[in-house]
Amino acid sequence: MAKAKQKKGKLSVFTWILCGILIIYCIALLVPWAWGFMSSFKTKWDLRSNLFGLPKEWMFSNYSVVLSRFSVSVESSGPYPTRQVGILEMAYNSIVYSVGMSLSGTFVGAVMAYATSRYRYKFSGAIYALVLATMILPLIGSLPSQLQVARALNLHDSMVGIFIMKSYFGGMYYLVFYGTFSSVPQDYTDAAEIDGAGQLTVMLRIIFPFARSVFFSVFLLNFIGYWNDYQTPLLFVPNRPTLAYGLWSFANDNHNNDIKTVPTQLAGCFMMAIPILALYLIAQNKMMENVSMGGLKG
């Protein structure tokens, strides 16, 4: 007993090895960031001749160049075939896209999880099994069909269209909500019904508040995912570019060549990363402690 208590305070060799590996990993991950941040304040010639040193002249103008001149060319319905979309419009598109997609996806998932966990009909079991099946069924190559259906239903290149198309109730977060709602005792529902509460009141005012922090965490994780997503806007809303799509386009196409230097691209990267970094710093505990998923069995 005394030996076990003594062991508890001491860290094992295994732990020290892990600690060492993690320190090396963190340094390896953060060094490119530090280098990138420092280089975003250099001129392109300074970067070529001075790879590792501090900037000879601190070019804060790289950031203002990105703010004022960075744009993406998209198709236009006006008199000209194309128009330029600047950073403010891209930021607006990013907010609309991220908030809309997160709200619709999170809300639909929560509602379905509530329905299937609190109403124990056989059909609820079938929906649960359906969600599990769609999570592991490897359906590959449906993107062409999705685009075709989006165009046929006039949902292509529309924010509302993409919200409708992508607000599927299944996935990992459905299971998280399902677990949360299942754990709320039936007594709360029964007591509310005896007091005369209707089904909608029970859902919104009795049961949903139990999942408030989970809802917030899932919404936040979804928001960050959609803020960073550029491939879905590229395919489904190509004429409403988001910041992520704009940055990708800035780095990979042949427009904006006069301002497309390595330091300005790095400046664009940090301008995009900073809001999410700030959000992550503030809400990291909330995000990570409320999301827990067991395994799939059966």
State which of positions 189-218 bind another protein (CB under 8 A): 193, 198-200
The window from 57-65, 113-121, 180-188, 205-213 that contacts another protein (CB under 8 A) reads 113-121
Whether 219 contacts 103, CB under 8 Å: yes
Q: CA-CA distance, 90 to 96, in Å (whole number)?
A: 10
From CA 251, how far away is CA 238, in angstroms rounded?
17
Of 88 and 140, the one with the shorter C-beta distance to another protein is 140
Which of 119, 188, 190, 212 binds another protein (CB under 8 A)? It is: 119
> Is 80 a binder of another protein (CB under 8 A)?
no
8 Å CB contact between 182 and 119: no
What are the structure tokens assigned to 206, written together? 């009795």
The CA-based angle 46-47-51, given to 5 degrees, is 115
Binding of another protein by 1 (CB under 8 A): yes
Does residue 259 touch another protein according to CB under 8 A?
Answer: no
Choice from 79, 144, 185, 196 touching another protein (CB under 8 A):
144
154-183: which residues touch another protein (CB under 8 A)? 164-170
Given 30, 54, 191, 204, the residue binding another protein (CB under 8 A): 30
Of 22-30, 58-66, 95-103, 208-216, the window that binds another protein (rule: CB under 8 A) is: 22-30
CA distances from 282 to 218, 220, 278, 285 (A): 15, 11, 6, 8
297/169 Cα distance (integer angstroms) = 20
Q: Does 235 bind another protein (CB under 8 A)?
A: yes
- 108 binding another protein? (CB under 8 A): yes
Q: Does 81 bind another protein (CB under 8 A)?
A: no
Rounded to a whole number of angstroms, the distance between the first and last alpha carbons of the chain is 41
